[in-house]
Amino acid sequence: MQKQQFIWLDGKMVKFEDAKVHVLTHSLQYGSGMFEGIRCYKTAAGPAIFRLGDHIRRFLNSAKIYRMPAKFSAEELRDGIISTIKKNGLEEAYIRPFMFYKDIGIGFNTKGKSTSVAIAAIPFGNLFGHAGVSKGIRCKVSSWLRINSSTLPVGAKASGNYLNSIIASIEANDSGYDEAILMSSFGKVAEGPGENIFIVQDGILITPPKQSDILVGITRDTIIKIAGDMGLEVAEREIRREELYVSDEAFFCGTAAEITPIISVDSRAVGNGKPGQIAKALGERYSKIVRGEDKKYRGWLSPVD
């Protein structure tokens, strides 16, 4: 990872190497931290952050779900994120706000514990690299099911939830695949370890609904909106595993993955085994929108300067 100069920590800029916690920190021991993944893109008017308000809302909602006392308002977090980009002189970045219990000790009770917020911004290309986006990736349906909301709140971006993502990714990678696809505990397609999924059948975009225990992604919402502009029909409905094998196209979407075509699932080619035309067209449109080249969606961008 490329080191940046500064991390925002509880309202102050600290040197990258000084943003440290004790090994007995509650959120390190028990996975009780909440985080977000946000991107800042280079635009003609300088760096701009994509759908910042929506990410901050989800961040604060994650904390609310766990009754975690948020000591910074949405406005303060927004200022903190913008100043982290500025202070590090970044034009494009992946931004990682992280709220955590800083108390040290044994015992998972959170009552009376105080929180800290750190904001890091680092240069970070697409999660699957340029090759992943241009050539597509190969996926495996995981033997690990997606956590469900009667066990853990899937709508919170809590660190602990990502053990489910990690174990599925380990299995997929060890088996020679690029990424996992997790099924819900109801036996329907849920999502990737850190991405939502779409399939395309006869020109219709299909994506699992909330009921499939997905994290309802902001990129997923972006795709639904821009697909409508492009005259594409979108259906939010449950997807059976075998539909992954026989669809015309499939792709992942997420802040880190952006729009990444899936070219095979469980060693069965999706469509003709090449990135699909609809995924490509959506990817191009998305890339223009996040870079401020599409007037209609400039409102989704928060300029840094």
Q: In the complex with ligand PLP, which residue's Cβ is closer, 59 or 100?
A: 59
254 binding ligand PLP? (CB under 6 A): yes
To the query of whether residue 157 is one of the catalytic residues in this protein, the response is: yes
Q: How far is the CB of 18 from ligand PLP (least distance, A)?
A: 27
User: CA distances (Å), 102 to each of 21, 31, 116, 183, in order?
Assistant: 8, 12, 6, 34
Q: For residue 224, give Cα distances in angstroms to 2, 198, 218, 294, 299.
A: 33, 10, 10, 16, 17
The residue number with the shortest CB distance to ligand PLP is 217
Instruction: Please identify, among the stretches 3-11, 218-226, 236-244, 292-300, the one whose residues bind ligand PLP according to the rule CB under 6 A.
Output: 218-226
From 20, 135, 157, 210, active-site residue = 157
**Min dist. Cβ of residue 255 to ligand PLP (A):** 3
Residue 97 binds ligand PLP, judged by CB under 6 A? no
User: Which part of the chain contacts ligand PLP (CB under 6 A), choosing from 6-14, 71-79, 106-114, 215-223?
Assistant: 215-223
190 near ligand PLP (CB under 6 A): no
Measured from the CB atom, is 179 or 191 closer to ligand PLP?
Answer: 191
Cβ partners under 8 Å of residue 158, min gap 6: 31, 32, 33, 34, 62, 65, 66, 152
Does residue 289 belong to the site contacting ligand PLP (CB under 6 A)? no
Q: Where does the chain show beta strands of DSSP type E?
A: 6-9, 12-15, 34-35, 38-43, 46-50, 93-101, 115-122, 137-141, 179-183, 189-191, 196-201, 204-207, 234-236, 249-254, 258-265, 268-269, 301-303
Residues with catalytic function: 157
Binding footprint of ligand PLP on the chain (CB under 6 A) = 37, 191, 194-196, 215, 217-220, 254-255
